[in-house]
């Protein structure tokens, strides 16, 4: 294949589309699938049972599909599935899943993973997610669509981050984050809504007003956080507010970051 540099090591069994490009000194393991227009820049390791979607570009020294950093992992079969048109920058690591977490680490489409970030076993990453430099996403996390995670932040295992939320830089997130939430500070305080992101996506003024009113009710209403969310669900007509209500009332057993 003319698109594979002669210094690259392609192990027997690897499936590489004729339009994919494999740069110098890359290693592609025997159970790897590279779809159309995938590009490995140079010195990239893609191993394990890993499927890399169409148009994804992986930059130098990334290690994709290695075994989990989990002492409970005993070599069981597991996978890493990466969607389309992702940009995976230098020194990024993404691990396959574990038997205890469902066996699959899943990456959506059109995401940007900046240099040095880590996506751990059994994480599920949505579409159009931006993970900034040196972020660590722990095992079993769920990061929904359009989330931005600021640099040097850490996401605790099993945490869910709702659609459209933004996490400030140097933040440790230990509890679930509501959709469109704004979280910042060393221990991850819920400080408001991601209004900038909502406006950039063209969300109607009426929906933004409804979201702001909903946030105030969640912050200052009577009863528990879940009680307030359930009352909000009975009153709202906004589809955006309904996303928050459904997120909070889902039975996951996890705790939420609540407004200060």
Mean pLDDT by 10 residues, the chain (260 residues): 90 98 98 98 98 98 98 96 98 97 97 98 98 98 98 98 98 97 93 96 96 93 88 92 94 78
Please indicate whether residue 122 is annotated as part of the active site.
yes
- Among 31, 122, 146, 176, the active-site one is 122
Residue 107 DSSP label: E
Q: What is the pLDDT of residue 1?
A: 52
Q: What is the pLDDT of residue 221?
A: 79
The full length of the chain comes to: 260
User: Starting from the edge strand earliest in sequence, which strands make up the sheet with 49-52, in order?
Assistant: 15-16, 33-34, 49-52, 79-82, 104-107, 124-125, 142-143, 160-161
Q: What is the pLDDT of residue 160?
A: 97
- Among 101, 116, 126, 139, the active-site one is 139
E strand or H helix that includes residue 199? helix 195-200
**Contact between 80 and 86 (Cβ < 8 Å):** no
Beta strands 112-113 and 130-131 are parallel
Please indicate whether residue 139 is annotated as part of the active site.
yes
Please indicate whether residue 53 is annotated as part of the active site.
no
C-alpha–C-alpha distance, residues 257 and 260, integer Å: 9
Q: What is the pLDDT of residue 222?
A: 85
What's the token pair of residue 130? 């931006």
- Among 35, 43, 121, 156, the active-site one is 121
Q: What is the pLDDT of residue 145?
A: 98
What's the token pair of residue 114? 């900046």
Q: What is the pLDDT of residue 216?
A: 93
């Amino acid at each position: 294949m003319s698109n594979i540099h002669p210094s690259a090591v392609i192990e027997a069994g690897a499936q590489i589309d004729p339009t994919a490009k494999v740069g110098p000194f890359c290693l592609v393991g025997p159970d790897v699938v590279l779809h159309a227009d995938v590009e490995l820049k140079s010195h990239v390791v893609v191993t394990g049972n890993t499927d890399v979607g169409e148009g994804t570009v992986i930059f130098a020294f990334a290690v994709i599909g290695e075994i989990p950093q989990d002492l409970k992992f005993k070599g069981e079969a597991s996978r890493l599935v990466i969607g389309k048109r992702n940009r995976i920058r230098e020194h990024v690591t993404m691990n396959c899943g574990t038997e205890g977490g469902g066996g699959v680490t899943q990456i959506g489409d059109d995401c940007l993973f900046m240099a040095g970030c880590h996506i751990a076993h059994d994480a599920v990453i949505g579409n159009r997610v931006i993970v900034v430099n040196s972020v660590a996403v722990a095992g079993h996390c769920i990061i929904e669509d359009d989330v931005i995670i600021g640099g040097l932040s850490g996401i605790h295992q099993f945490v869910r981050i709702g659609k459209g939320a933004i996490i400030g830089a140097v933040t440790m997130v230990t509890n679930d984050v509501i959709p469109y939430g704004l979280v910042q500070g060393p221990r991850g305080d819920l400080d408001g809504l991601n209004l900038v992101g909502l406006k950039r996506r063209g969300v109607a003024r009426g929906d933004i007003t409804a979201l702001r009113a909903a946030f105030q009710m969640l912050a200052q209403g009577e009863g528990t956080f879940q009680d307030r969310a359930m009352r909000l669900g009975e009153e709202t007509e906004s589809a955006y507010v309904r996303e928050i209500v459904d997120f909070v009332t889902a039975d996951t057993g996890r705790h939420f970051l609540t407004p200060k």
